[in-house]
């Protein structure tokens, strides 16, 4: 039977000296975040961060348009 694990181990940089480069093994969780089943906000956070970036992008574009129109006046 195959078991799938969300953990992966990678070699991560940890520093250097004049004679060598130091690394350390780090275990990372590579699984997608599942929404919690408890009460409250069950969102994983991914859609919020995408929406937040979209809002900031549109706000920046709006500010540039406003500055351009003020420049034309």
Q: Are 72 and 64 in contact (CB under 8 A)?
A: no
For range 26-34, the mean pLDDT: 75
Q: How confident is the model at residue 40 (pLDDT cuts 50, 70, 90)?
A: low
Both tokens of residue 9? 């181990």
Q: What 8-state DSSP symbol labels residue 61? A: H
pLDDT band, residue 44 (cuts 50/70/90): low
């Amino acid at each position: 039977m195959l078991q799938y694990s969300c953990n992966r181990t990678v070699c991560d940089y940890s520093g250097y000296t004049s004679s060598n480069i130091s690394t350390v093994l780090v275990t990372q969780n590579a699984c997608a975040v599942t929404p919690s089943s408890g009460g409250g906000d069950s969102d994983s956070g991914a859609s919020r961060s995408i929406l937040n970036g979209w809002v900031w992008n549109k706000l920046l574009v709006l500010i540039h348009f406003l500055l351009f129109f003020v420049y034309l006046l």
